[in-house]
A and B are shown apart, each in its own frame.
Chain A
Amino acid sequence: AQSVAQPEDQVNVAEGNPLTVKCTYSVSGNPYLFWYVQYPNRGLQFLLKYITGDNLVKGSYGFEAEFNKSQTSFHLKKPSALVSDSALYFCAVRDMNSGGYQKVTFGIGTKLQVIP
């Protein structure tokens, strides 16, 4: 089964500094990887995805992610953090069941705290 791991429960970064939220994956075949963000008391929002093509994927709110096949990683990055980026970030991977339907499995989430 496909899975993702987020090794950090929490990441703290000063406003204006670059941020990185880590994710590693374990898949058979080609990975379909995603990042979602959850603000307090809200549903998850899609940020970006990697399916194929360029290893650097750009997404919403200035976020980007780098797919690294040799390190089986898909880290989320932003050049300059904003206080409003403080939220819970989920890495996710798409798996397919025997019927050809997708099942998206999420990591445990990483809380990003941007300090003013």
Chain B
Amino acid sequence: DTAVSQTPKYLVTQMGNDKSIKCEQNLGHDTMYWYKQDSKKFLKIMFSYNNKELIINETVPNRFSPKSPDKAHLNLHINSLELGDSAVYFCASSQGLPNTGELFFGEGSRLTVL
């Protein structure tokens, strides 16, 4: 069983379109994250939810909107896609408070904006 699963794995779309990436974890964790990895492999946190509540919201354009329908799911919707949004987006989860910091990552969703 995959612990953290993301869909789709690959996404190719045109500028200006709207797209979503879904994430599910079956680890029973309370906290989920979205990270963006750019072409230079630099990883940056975007958002984090704890038990459906937004707890981290880094400086991300408001075209990006996360949604957590329950603590096992965290989706990412992106409006009006731009070339610079091309990246690999990773979902991750960890235990809630008290937590040890270990993150479990999905396999990533590679977004290519043409």
- Contact residues of A with B, CB < 8 Å? 32, 34, 36, 38, 41-46, 49, 51, 88, 90, 94, 97, 99-106, 108-109
Contacts and interface: CB of A to CB of B under 8 A. Distances in A.
B107 interface: yes
B105 A101 contact: no
Q: How large is the interface on B (under 10, 10 to 19, 20 to 34, 35 or more residues)?
A: 20 to 34
A105 B45 CA distance: 7
Given A32-B101, A49-B100, 14 more contacts: A34-B102, A36-B103, A42-B107, A43-B4, A43-B106, A44-B92, A49-B102, A94-B101, A101-B50, A102-B99, A102-B101, A103-B56, A104-B45, A108-B40
Interface string B82-114: 000000001010100101111111111000000
Contacts, number: 61
B27 interface: no
Nearest to B105: A43
A109 B55 CA distance: 26
Contacts of A41: 107-108
B35 to A, nearest CB: 8
B29 to A, nearest CB: 12
